[in-house]
Every structure is written in C-alpha cells, then in structure tokens.
Amino acid sequence: MSLEQEINKRRTFGIISHPDAGKTTLTEKLLLFGGAIQTAGAVKSNKIKKSATSDFMEIEKQRGISVATSVMAFNYKNTKINILDTPGHKDFAEDTYRTLTAVDSVIMVIDCANGVEDQTKKLMEVCRMRNTPVIVFINKMDREGQDAFDLLDEIESTLSIKVRPLSWPIGIGSTFQGVYNMFEHHLNLFDINKTRIERDIVSISDLSDPKLDEQIGEKAADKLREDIELVEGVYDEFDIEKYKSGELAPVFFGSALNNFGVQELLDTFIEIAPFPKSRETNTKLVHPTDPKFSGFVFKIHANLDPNHRDRIAFLRICSGKFERNKFYQHVRIDKKLKFSNPTSFMAQDKSVIDEAFPGDVIGLYDTGNFKIGDTLTEGEDMEFQGIPSFSPEIFKELINKDPMKTKQLEKGIQQLTDEGVAQLFIQQPGNRKIVGTVGELQFEVIQYRLQHEYGASAEFQPKSFYKACWMTTEDDSKLEDFIRRKAQYIAKDKDDNYVFLAQSAFLLQSAEADYPEITFHTTSEFKRAKENSL
C-alpha cells in the first residue's frame, strides 16, 4: 500500500470534556464498536468491577478519574483509528493541552443536564487556537436534562462556534427512545435493558412515512417531525470544509453508557474527519506525504508497567514511514537512535510494530534521551512547534521524609516531571526542589506515585509564588544583575534555563518595568535552545 493510501486510512483524534460528562465511557463504547475490547469498564455488578480500559494507573482506578492521557488504536471499516483519551479534571489541563497538539480533530463530550462547563470552554479555546475540527457529542440523553435546542444555542453562544445537528434525539430522560440519524436518514432504536451491542435500524428517508408512528408512537413521531423541520430551517446545511477548518461543529446526541447514538457518531466520524494534517516546524511546513520520516514527542510516561520500570515516549508521526530498527536523528541532542521494540497501544496493552505512518502514535522505550517536544527525523535539522510548558499556578517545595531513600526520590521526581505531570524548579543554595502544577490534585498524584512506584516518602510545603517566568535578553549583564538582586526568587528548570518565581502580579510588573531589557515569558515556547542560560 502506498504512503498516501496509508495516510488516507488514518484518523487521529482526542476526546475532551469537563469531568464526569462521560468522556471515558464514550471512549469505551467506541472501542467496543470497533471490536477492540469485549466488555466496557463502566459495566459494573456486585460480582465484577472493571476499571475503564483507558484508566490504567492504580490511582485512576481508585479515584475513578482519568489523570493521564491514554492512547488507543483499533481498526474499523478499513480505517485505522487512533484515540487519545485525555484527563477531564482541570488539574491535569496541561497534559490535555499538549495532547491536543498530537491530534487532527477532537470529539467534545457535553453532559445534557449541565451543558457547557468551565473546563469545556478552556479546552475549546485551545482547539480554536489551532483551528482544530470539533465534533460535539451531547451525552446522557437517557437522563433528564436541558432541551436540545437550548443546548445548541448555549454551545454556539458560549463556545463561539456554529453548530449543525447530524443526529436528533427522540425524547429525553424517561421518554428517550433513541436517535434519528439525519446524515444517513435512519432511525436507531435501542432497548435500555440490552447488555449486548445490538441496534435496531429502521430506514426512514421520508419522515412523513407512517412507519415512523408505528415505531415510536404518534406523539413522539409528530414531535420529531417538528424538531427536524425546525433544525432544517434554523441551521445551515452541513459543510464538510467548514467543519475541517474549525468553523462548524457537527452535533450528535446519545447516551454513551447505553450505546445510544455512539455508532452514528463513529460511522459519520470516519467519513468526515480529516486525514493527518501538515505540521509547522522552525524551518518549514511538514506535509504527511513528505517521503522522509519525522515526528515529535508529546508525552512521556514512566512505569507504564510498574513491574518493569519502563519509560515510554509517545511519538506522533508527522511524515514518511517509521521503521523498526532503523536509525533516526534526535534533533535536540544531535544523536542517532534506533528502536528495536516500538509499540502501538491499547491503553496499557502494547504490541511491537514493524512500521507506522503519519497519524499514528507509537511508544518508544526510552532510557532518558527524550523530553516533551523533542523531534525525531530522518536526518533533517528541524523542530516541531507548538508544544509549550505553561507557567504553573500552584507551587510547593518537595520535602524528603526518608533520607535513606534520597536517590529514589531524586529519580522519581525527575522522571515524573519529565512526563509533564508537573514542572520542577531547582533553587540554590541547597538544591531545593520547587514543584509547580496547575492544580492541587497533581500533588496528590505525585506523592502517591513517588511512594508506590519509587518507594520514596515525601510531603509538600506550599510556596507563595504567583508565576514562573522564563527570561530572554540580548544584554547578558542585565540578566546577571537581575539574577544577583533577585537570587531568592531565581530557580532553574529541567533544561537548565533560569526562571524568575514572581511572588505577585505587582512584583512581576515591577521587574518588567525595572528591567525593560529582559523579556519575561509565562510559557516556555520562546526558544527551546538554552539561549537564556548563563
């Protein structure tokens, strides 16, 4: 099969939502329809409790939340689908932001009762920054919730994007009977008591067909006819190009838990979702059809299998063909590496692959060579753009509670911060470790993982910092002077760059006013080289 044919077979997308909107459940059901798993983790009884396939860390299973991006691949209707299931909790937003750099489109899950929530707004802002195509899945229609038209109005006004329903719910809550697929013109009816994935499809191309009344009852049929007529009158025709450019969001309704509307979503997705896209580097635009291989690391995970202490870099392939046991150029460290066991993923289950193509996400076993944002090429000297670290919002000092386990603590915090779950700043004197995150729950995760994966006992003491600011200047003497005067607020990040830990917005503004020669950056995406270290 040619490179272009391989590319056209692939769809790589992320699933995003506010916590508890049903994102991980939807992921499970997509995997079920794709034949990748046999039982959904959300199906629980008194005798069996399975955690979701995409939640593989022990703390995720205990807390019932996703705290790390999971990568899952499966084949469906001759299409290779790569799903990146992201954490919904706001405390893990940075992992989600970085994951969105590795996808070509997203499915956004919205709870029909709660509508558009805060985290949904923030995630949509990130999608808008890159004009990422968005499909909306309005979930939990089998529960009481808002009117479908009100939800569509809220999405348009709050998220500043036009919508176009491609399926429509028949009832809501206790009256919910299924969905009408406006894209394929058929009725999809489900029995809520079914445990197997079976669907009853009734082809109804003309809604005036009396068969509709027989299937769902006269009252529900009349309401559906009215709703569809209103939809066709109010909303523009679906335009696939506007969807692909991020201007229009197709909307589907359903209940992921009970399989309503999921297959409509999946079938339409593989038909309309974009193929792997071109990507910007610091030297040129890389097209997926370019014959030479290239890719970037957007995530690192240590101890994916705690029994083997492995460290895996997640690589998004952007162009050409990746081949097992072939040497590739690690651009940042200017070193050639080859990989004997590259893997594809089904959450924590991995299988060795011989080749992979643009759109694929593969795992590379790593001995410490990779950092988030690193580029791998077939020899070209270029770096992919748009994978920044953001200034943390909460800062705490890491305190070692067991001096006998100092080495374990050092290794653990280094590996965990390399993953991007938090940022590590080293202050002198004393090599003090300041950990920065975007949310409190991250500290709990770090403490848990240090204890259970590295045997290191630690606690955190709060620090009153406002922002971590990276610094650049063309006048090294001014930077030296600033560092000397502000020594107690200066630290170094993992790349040995100097960082100013500002205590307040006022003190940051004062520093900017006193040192106009220095630029203070609240994201690390200014230059990845160490031009700002002395």
For 209-226, write each residue's pLDDT tens digit. Answer: 888 888 888 999 999 999
Residue 121 has what pLDDT?
84
- In this structure, is the dihedral angle defined by the CA atoms of residues 357, 358, 364 and 369, taken in order, positive or negative? positive
Domain annotation for the chain: domains and CATH numbers: 3-272 (3.40.50.300), 279-377 (3.40.50.300), 394-521 (3.30.70.3280)
Q: Position 531: which residue type?
A: E
For residue 280, give Cα distances in angstroms to 130, 230, 286.
11, 42, 6
Give the Cα separation of 522 and 436 in Å (integer).
13
- Judging by DSSP bridges, how do beta strands 79-85 and 10-17 pair with one another? parallel
Closest-CA residue to 272 (of 398, 107, 428): 107
* 3 state SS of 367: coil
Range list of H helices, 419-475 = 440-454
What is d(CA 94, CA 337) in angstroms, rounded to the nearest whole number? 28
Furthest-apart CA pair in the chain: how many Å? 83
Residue 357: which of 127, 37, 132, 73 has the closest Cα? 73
Each residue of 459-472: pLDDT tens digit?
999 999 999 999 99
Confidence label for 533 from pLDDT (cuts 50, 70 and 90): very low
pTM exceeds 0.75: yes
Q: Residue 113, SS3?
A: coil
Helices 148-159 and 218-234: angle between axes, nearest 10 degrees: 20
Residue 476 has pLDDT above 60, yes or no: yes
Mean per-residue pLDDT of the chain: 84
What percentage of the chain carries pLDDT values higher than 90? Answer: 52
Structure-block tokens of residue 56: 């593989």
Report yes or no: 15 and 69 within 8 Å, Cβ to Cβ.
no
What confidence score (pLDDT) does residue 305 get? 55
Query: Side chain identity at 491, as an amino acid letter?
Result: A
44 falls in which pLDDT band (50, 70, 90)?
Answer: very low
Q: With contact defined as beta carbons under 8 Å apart, do 520 and 469 qualify?
A: yes
The confidence score (pLDDT) of residue 34 equals 73
Question: Do 417 and 366 touch, CB atoms closer than 8 A?
Answer: no
**Strand residues in 65-224 grouped as ranges (E):** 70-76, 79-85, 105-111, 134-139, 162-165, 167-170, 178-181, 186-189, 200-203
What are the tokens at 159? 């998220």
Q: How confident is the model over 401-432, as pLDDT tens digits?
A: 999 999 999 999 988 887 777 899 999 988 99
pLDDT in tens, 52-89: 444 444 544 444 444 345 778 888 999 999 988 776 55
> Alpha-carbon distance 396 to 438, whole Å?
12
AA identity, residue 405: K
Could you tell me the two tokens for 456?
Answer: 């290191």
Tokens coding 302 = 């240590």
φ/ψ of residue 71, rounded to 5: -115, 130
Please tell me the predicted confidence (pLDDT) of residue 68. 46
Residue 329 has pLDDT above 50, yes or no: yes
DSSP element (H, E) containing 480: helix 476-485
Does residue 204 carry a pLDDT above 90?
Answer: no
Distance CA 55, CA 98 (A): 18
Instruction: Flag whether pLDDT at 134 surpasses 70.
Output: yes
pLDDT at position 30 over 70 = yes
How much is the pLDDT for 200? 59
Give the model's confidence band at 46: pLDDT under 50 very low, under 70 low, under 90 confident, else very high: very low
Rounded to 5°, angle at Cα 137 from 149 and 5: 135
Reported as a single tens digit per residue, the pLDDT across 291-320 is 999 999 988 876 655 555 567 889 999 999
- Judged against a pLDDT cut of 80, whether residue 144 lies above it is answered with yes
**Is the per-residue pLDDT at 198 higher than 50?**
no
Span 161-174, pLDDT tens digits: 999 999 999 999 98
Can you tell me the distance from the alpha carbon of 163 to that of 236, in angstroms, rounded to the nearest whole number? 9
CA angle (376, 382, 385) in 5-degree steps = 90
Confidence class for position 137, pLDDT limits 50, 70, 90: very high
Helices (DSSP H) in 34-147: which residue ranges? Answer: 58-63, 93-99, 118-129
Q: Which is more confidently placed, 56 or 243?
A: 243
What's the full length of the chain, in residues? Answer: 534
Q: What is the pLDDT of residue 480?
A: 95
Going by C-alpha positions, the residue among 23, 50, 55 that lies closest to residue 38 is: 50
| Residue 390, pLDDT above cutoff 50 | yes
Tens-digit pLDDT profile for residues 331-366: 999 999 999 999 887 644 568 889 999 999 998 988
The answer to whether the CB of 328 falls within 8 A of the CB of 336 is yes
Enclosing H/E stretch for 280: strand 279-280
Tens of pLDDT, residues 436-462:
987 788 898 899 889 988 999 999 999
Peptide bond into 429 cis (omega under 30): yes
Phi/psi class of residue 458: alpha, beta or left (left: φ > 0; alpha: ψ in -120 to 50)? beta
